[in-house]
Chains A and B, each alone.
Chain A
């Protein structure tokens, strides 16, 4: 089976004013048909760069970005259009993703118009159908984006993204700008869309809890590299990379038994995080498990650590064992 989306050893470096940001340093990942993959990382991890490359908005410096086994950038105009119809996007800022001068109905009909799907009357009927499908009144078609709330606008963006019946949705932080209860509604809508359309998804977020709720498999990025990947439940229960472990430990949950107590910190001094080493393990300066030998590793490759699991850490064996012993105790 051809993956819907495949990144093979993708590199991307941005040259800023006297600063070089290596946003992607050999990222490889795959999304299979119907699979829902989460991409987790903090700011500067390169996750949005991956999203932009997957959507063909940014060309990699080296490596391959393949949609259905084909390159999007450099394809003929006709082929590019066909491929784009299969991969649609939902972005973080729902208001900015829509043209402020166009009505909601116009924007949702836009993909249909671009791809010449149906007559004008059919397109209007489809817009009404899509609005209903995302839980909005079809009368919203007449409104302008500025007349709607953030949650409503994100529903509109989802309606537009599924208008062409794509096989893959690339969602870049789609719920991060929303209030808790609105965020929950949009998460539920994503679940519903997954279930009803059997659509594949690359769901990108800094929030591990949100990602965990929605996806089958998680890919964790740190400083432009994939440091761990694995099935959601196993990865969250038993992380094989110290960074994933730190991320899990740092996530705050409003559980009463934790109220009023100090924060458990698994990471080390944050000042060390100011710089990421150019070579070797990017997490080394913050890593609680680091040994002198770690700094001698030129490259830490992603290596299998279990069924469907991989970690880019010299010491992941320690975490794998620790995980095995706790699950034996249960």
Chain B
């Protein structure tokens, strides 16, 4: 039992949607491991996280062969058990630091509410220690402030402290730094990295930013239109991408080194296809087979890729 989170064949469909938002997604987060779901809007990355944490509206149809946290079935878990889990083994951090806080209550009150058991003084002590650990100066005083006194980066740090005080085994972080400035982001990511090592924490990271994914994960799933296009060890996927979409995505990012003022490589403009390979409309290499037959995931090189054409010729040319 070394996997913290197991997801097998997850499919999520919103009412009246033409196609499922997530289709046949499987992955595991090993103990102390970090898995990233990466993709653009509409890729299903956030929907996957919401389905796993049971935060979707009940009208949304969620099916899976298995979604389990430390061997416990998350999809059939009762409300009470689920709530206990969210205050315990399963911690969550979301994108918008402001939206996670109630503006009318102090940081301290909001964090103490989430803490169970023990004397108030003792709980407070634990929190203060935690806040100091995440880099808040003079926590006794500053914790009595309201959220608007805090910067976005500080709020996200405080939220992280509030989550980690429960000593979770898994942290689900949905775009945790996307709303922050570059330098603040770097500092927060470094902090998450340190805390993960200290607490032996596993992580499911959801991000659109391959730079963040490169630093923060050891396994990555590239999602396109609700399906896994490619997955594998992060370093392998980024160095030798086998799926045309992964390549296009990497080539589309402007860099701080290398040529500039030259057009970035992008796939063609087209909607995701419902028949065949979803990327076939945009893919430079697409054949007739791609347009009719949905590719099944295969092992190619170091990654598992859902593409008929993998291995692609000359990975470096992309």
Of all chain A residues, which has the CB nearest B245? A181
Are the CB atoms of B135 and A269 closer together than 8 Å? Answer: yes
Are the CB atoms of B266 and A184 closer together than 8 Å? Answer: yes
Report which of A179, A206, A274 forms a contact with B41, defined as CB distance below 8 A: A179
The yes or no answer to B187 lying at the interface (CB within 8 A) is: yes
Minimal beta-carbon separation of A18 from chain B (angstroms): 11
Are the CB atoms of A253 and B255 closer together than 8 Å? Answer: yes
Of all chain B residues, which has the CB nearest A208? B256
The yes or no answer to A97 lying at the interface (CB within 8 A) is: no
Given contacts A191-B261, A259-B214, contact A209 B255 (CB under 8 A): yes
Are the CB atoms of B266 and A181 closer together than 8 Å? Answer: yes
The yes or no answer to A298 lying at the interface (CB within 8 A) is: no
Interface residues of B in 176-201 (CB under 8 A from A): 181-190, 193-194
Are the CB atoms of B252 and A256 closer together than 8 Å? Answer: no
Are the CB atoms of B269 and A254 closer together than 8 Å? Answer: no
Given contacts A181-B40, A184-B266, A254-B211, contact A263 B193 (CB under 8 A): yes
With a cutoff of 8 Å between Cβ atoms, the chain B residues found around residue A262 in the complex are 190, 193-194, 215
The yes or no answer to A250 lying at the interface (CB within 8 A) is: yes
Q: Contacting chain B: which of A5-13, A124-132, A210-218?
A: A210-218
The yes or no answer to A144 lying at the interface (CB within 8 A) is: no
Minimal beta-carbon separation of A58 from chain B (angstroms): 23
With a cutoff of 8 Å between Cβ atoms, the chain A residues found around residue B154 in the complex are 270-271, 274
Given contacts A209-B254, A252-B209, contact A271 B135 (CB under 8 A): yes
Q: Contacting chain A: which of B51-59, B91-99, B232-240, B303-311?
A: B232-240
The yes or no answer to B18 lying at the interface (CB within 8 A) is: no
Are the CB atoms of B184 and A252 closer together than 8 Å? Answer: no
Cα of A246 to Cα of B254 in the assembled complex, Å: 19
Report which of B41, B187, B256 forms a contact with A236, defined as CB distance below 8 A: B256
The yes or no answer to B249 lying at the interface (CB within 8 A) is: yes
Report which of B188, B215, B217, B266 forms a contact with A188, defined as CB distance below 8 A: B266
Minimal beta-carbon separation of A201 from chain B (angstroms): 12
With a cutoff of 8 Å between Cβ atoms, the chain A residues found around residue B184 in the complex are 42, 270, 273
Are the CB atoms of A252 and B186 closer together than 8 Å? Answer: yes
Are the CB atoms of A180 and B252 closer together than 8 Å? Answer: yes
Cα of A182 to Cα of B184 in the assembled complex, Å: 25
Are the CB atoms of B186 and A180 closer together than 8 Å? Answer: no
The yes or no answer to A260 lying at the interface (CB within 8 A) is: yes
Are the CB atoms of B40 and A180 closer together than 8 Å? Answer: yes
With a cutoff of 8 Å between Cβ atoms, the chain A residues found around residue B218 in the complex are 260
Are the CB atoms of B185 and A253 closer together than 8 Å? Answer: no
Of all chain B residues, which has the CB nearest A250? B186
Cα of A191 to Cα of B309 in the assembled complex, Å: 32
Of all chain A residues, which has the CB nearest B43? A179
Cα of A247 to Cα of B157 in the assembled complex, Å: 20
With a cutoff of 8 Å between Cβ atoms, the chain B residues found around residue A191 in the complex are 261-263
Minimal beta-carbon separation of B231 from chain A (angstroms): 14
Of all chain B residues, which has the CB nearest A213? B254
Cα of A181 to Cα of B251 in the assembled complex, Å: 9
Report which of A179, A180, A258 forms a contact with B215, defined as CB distance below 8 A: A258
Are the CB atoms of A267 and B211 closer together than 8 Å? Answer: no
Cα of A254 to Cα of B183 in the assembled complex, Å: 17
Of all chain B residues, which has the CB nearest A252? B211
With a cutoff of 8 Å between Cβ atoms, the chain B residues found around residue A192 in the complex are 263
With a cutoff of 8 Å between Cβ atoms, the chain B residues found around residue A258 in the complex are 214-215
Most chain B beta carbons < 10 A, residue from A135, A192, A213, A254: A254
Report which of A208, A254, A261 forms a contact with B182, defined as CB distance below 8 A: A208
Are the CB atoms of B238 and A259 closer together than 8 Å? Answer: yes
Cα of A267 to Cα of B213 in the assembled complex, Å: 21
Cα of A267 to Cα of B182 in the assembled complex, Å: 11
Report which of A183, A256, A263 forms a contact with B238, defined as CB distance below 8 A: A256
With a cutoff of 8 Å between Cβ atoms, the chain B residues found around residue A180 in the complex are 40, 208, 210, 249, 252-253
Are the CB atoms of B182 and A188 closer together than 8 Å? Answer: no
With a cutoff of 8 Å between Cβ atoms, the chain B residues found around residue A24 in the complex are none
With a cutoff of 8 Å between Cβ atoms, the chain A residues found around residue B50 in the complex are none
Interface residues of A in 263-298 (CB under 8 A from B): 263-265, 267, 269-271, 273-274
The yes or no answer to B267 lying at the interface (CB within 8 A) is: yes
Of all chain B residues, which has the CB nearest A45? B181
Most chain B beta carbons < 10 A, residue from A42, A212, A271: A271
Contact with A along B62-85 (1 / 0, CB 8 A): 000000000000000000000000
Interface residues of A in 194-247 (CB under 8 A from B): 206-210, 212-214, 232-233, 236, 246-247
With a cutoff of 8 Å between Cβ atoms, the chain B residues found around residue A209 in the complex are 253-256
Cα of A246 to Cα of B184 in the assembled complex, Å: 10
With a cutoff of 8 Å between Cβ atoms, the chain B residues found around residue A208 in the complex are 182, 256
Are the CB atoms of B252 and A42 closer together than 8 Å? Answer: no
With a cutoff of 8 Å between Cβ atoms, the chain A residues found around residue B254 in the complex are 184, 187, 207, 209-210, 212-213
Contact with A along B147-165 (1 / 0, CB 8 A): 0000111100100000000
Cα of A213 to Cα of B265 in the assembled complex, Å: 13
Most chain B beta carbons < 10 A, residue from A180, A207, A263, A273: A180
Chosen A-B contacts, 24 in total, with CB atoms closer than 8 Å, are A42-B181, A135-B269, A151-B269, A180-B252, A181-B248, A181-B252, A181-B267, A183-B252, A184-B251, A184-B264, A208-B256, A213-B255, A232-B260, A250-B183, A250-B187, A251-B182, A251-B256, A252-B185, A256-B238, A260-B217, A260-B235, A262-B193, A263-B190, A273-B153
A interface residues (Cβ-Cβ under 8 A, vs B): 42-43, 135, 151, 179-185, 187-188, 191-192, 206-210, 212-214, 232-233, 236, 246-256, 258-265, 267, 269-271, 273-274
> What 10 A-B pairs come out closest when comparing CB atoms?
A252-B211, A256-B239, A254-B210, A184-B252, A250-B186, A42-B181, A213-B254, A179-B40, A184-B264, A259-B235
Known A185-B269, A256-B236; 13 more pairs at CB < 8 Å: A184-B266, A206-B182, A208-B182, A252-B189, A252-B211, A253-B255, A254-B211, A254-B213, A254-B214, A259-B215, A260-B217, A262-B193, A271-B135
